[in-house]
């Protein structure tokens, strides 16, 4: 006897049938699209796993957040760079090449080949170990400025620190000095909000120029999470420059938050290498602002060569060079005695992890400082998922206790040090616009080593038999799966 199925059962069957087909077709398209981007296998597999869990909308998600959109940004920035400076200006920049130490010749060549910036030199370099010290030095240099002040920041908060700095910039602009401030659209939302518009308008009314890197607009969704300028750059009169990890915020200023301000590191440079820092800023300014600054030719003054070899390293998704990524890996491979590294976010790429463990396995002393707890629980968990294999290779891992640890430094043997804005993670290596200074000199290395040892006094060595609840280990393992996307 024939049994007639209820209509709702047939409708339900058709609904699940077509949903299954849509899911399958969407999965095939998304997977093929991701594979054809020819990115790293780990990152590709991570995207495939995530996007196949979101049928139909996977294509839209990848279209806005996937790596293939970098090509459009790269093309725009290439045109910007091509029109940035005259050949004469670039020749002036390359005119003074110091003698490169024999051990660093190939390293310097690698950096220049990957980002186009040759080795230079400075007359002096100061290590600034706190936000308060950095702000003091910055205000002093701004007060002495005669021609221009250029600033580029990921985070510029309109709090006590930011207001103090912006007031100083406003007064300098009113005095006739050319002042330009570039902030990131995601990193500085409060400064860009209506509530603080008056503060920015007062700066502009005084003659200051203001620009936003990838502003957050509904027609530009991708930059909401990727393609940020994470750089912290200050250039005064083309002769004095600051760079490092310190943003403009009370969170990193111990004068306003004495008990919990971030522990961070910045550099103050004087000399020829500052002109290359200027070059990086001018690229970003013209890209974000759409037009060159006035009197651009006066922003690259002739500077007497110094005694300290320094190479500015700039990287970002506008090129395939991955200059900071390559420079760090090459520096790790050069190490014969020691590698002392500090980073707030440790989510290494496979090549970076291999270079670090290789160094430890060949007998190099490798010490790593990370925060006990960063400002991202997922990143902290992902970082801890690497502890076991690092320790198995002989790496000593120290967790900084108390305040948030935000310094980004690398020290190799007795003559090499790097300080900049880049974390030791995929986002800094491949998605953010970053900048660092590679310094090839013993005295700087010793100063960086002393600071590292001071930080160790606030750390605890992570035991090789680290105990944690089973749920924590599971969370760390899951967080690691997403590490290529963090």
| Residue ranges with strand state E in 281-364 | 308-315, 338-342, 346-347
Is 413 one of the annotated active-site residues of the chain?
yes
Radius of gyration in angstroms for the set of CA atoms belonging to the chain, rounded to a whole number: 24
Is 408 one of the annotated active-site residues of the chain?
yes
- 3-class secondary structure, 81: helix
Residues 266, 408, 425, 455: which is the catalytic one?
408
Residues 172, 230, 266, 367: which is the catalytic one?
230
Residues 107, 214, 232, 415: which is the catalytic one?
232
Token pair, residue 293, equals 């600054």
- 3-class secondary structure, 120: strand
Residues 184, 251, 413, 455: which is the catalytic one?
413
DSSP symbol at 99: P
Is 302 one of the annotated active-site residues of the chain?
no
Residues facing 367 on adjacent strands: 340, 396
148-153 vs 178-184, strand pairing mode: parallel
Mention every residue, 6+ apart, whose C-beta is less than 8 A from residue 160. 250, 253, 256
**How far is residue 97 from each of residues 86, 94, 105, measured CA to CA in Å?**
19, 7, 12
DSSP symbol at 217: B
Token pair, residue 309, equals 């070899």
Q: Are 232 and 266 in contact (CB under 8 A)?
A: yes
Rounded CA-CA distance 382/348 in Å is 10
Residues 159, 184, 237, 425: which is the catalytic one?
237
Active-site residue set: 230, 232, 237, 406, 408, 413
């Amino acid at each position: 006897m024939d049994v007639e199925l209820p209509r709702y059962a047939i409708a339900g069957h058709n609904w699940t049938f077509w949903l299954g087909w849509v899911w399958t077709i969407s999965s095939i398209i998304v997977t093929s699209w991701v594979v054809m981007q020819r990115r790293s296998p780990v990152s590709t597999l991570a995207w495939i796993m995530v996007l196949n869990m979101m049928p139909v909308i996977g294509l839209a998600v990848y279209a806005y957040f996937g790596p293939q959109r970098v090509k459009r940004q790269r093309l725009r920035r290439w045109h910007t760079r091509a029109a940035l400076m005259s050949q004469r200006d670039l020749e002036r920049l390359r005119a003074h090449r110091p003698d490169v130490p024999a051990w660093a010749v190939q390293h310097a060549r690698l950096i220049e080949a990957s980002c186009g910036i040759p080795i230079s030199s400075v007359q002096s370099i100061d290590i600034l170990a706190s936000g308060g010290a950095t702000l003091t030095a910055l205000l002093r240099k701004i007060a002495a400025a005669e021609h221009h002040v250029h600033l580029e920041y990921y985070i510029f908060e309109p709090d006590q620190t930011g207001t103090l700095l912006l007031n100083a910039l406003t007064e300098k602009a009113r005095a006739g000095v050319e002042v330009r401030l570039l902030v990131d659209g995601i990193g500085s939302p409060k400064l860009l909000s209506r509530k603080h518009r008056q503060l920015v308008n007062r700066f502009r009314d005084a003659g200051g120029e203001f620009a936003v890197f990838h502003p957050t607009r509904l027609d530009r969704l991708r930059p909401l999470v990727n393609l940020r300028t994470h750089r912290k750059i200050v250039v005064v009169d083309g002769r004095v420059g600051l760079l490092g990890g310190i943003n403009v915020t009370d969170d990193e200023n111990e004068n306003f938050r004495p008990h919990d301000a971030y522990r961070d590191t910045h550099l103050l440079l004087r000399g020829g290498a500052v002109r290359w820092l200027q070059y990086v800023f001018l690229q970003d300014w013209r890209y974000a602002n759409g037009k060159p600054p006035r009197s651009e030719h006066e922003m690259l003054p002739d500077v007497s060569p110094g005694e300290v070899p320094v190479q500015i390293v700039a990287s970002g998704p506008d090129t395939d060079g991955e200059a900071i990524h390559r420079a760090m890996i090459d520096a790790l491979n050069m190490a014969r005695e020691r590698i002392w590294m500090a980073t707030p976010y440790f989510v290494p790429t496979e090549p970076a992890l291999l270079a670090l463990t290789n160094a430890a396995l060949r007998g190099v002393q490798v010490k790593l400082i990370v925060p006990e707890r960063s400002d991202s629980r997922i990143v902290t968990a992902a970082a801890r998922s690497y502890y076991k294999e690092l320790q198995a290779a002989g790496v000593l891992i120290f967790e900084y206790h108390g305040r948030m640890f935000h310094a980004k430094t690398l020290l190799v043997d007795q003559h090499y040090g790097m300080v900049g804005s880049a974390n030791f993670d995929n986002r800094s290596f491949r998605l953010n616009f970053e900048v660092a200074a590679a310094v090839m000199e013993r005295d700087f290395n010793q100063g960086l080593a002393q600071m590292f040892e001071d930080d160790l006094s606030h750390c605890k060595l992570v035991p090789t038999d680290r105990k944690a609840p089973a749920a924590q280990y599971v969370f760390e393992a899951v967080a690691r799966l997403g590490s290529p996307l963090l």
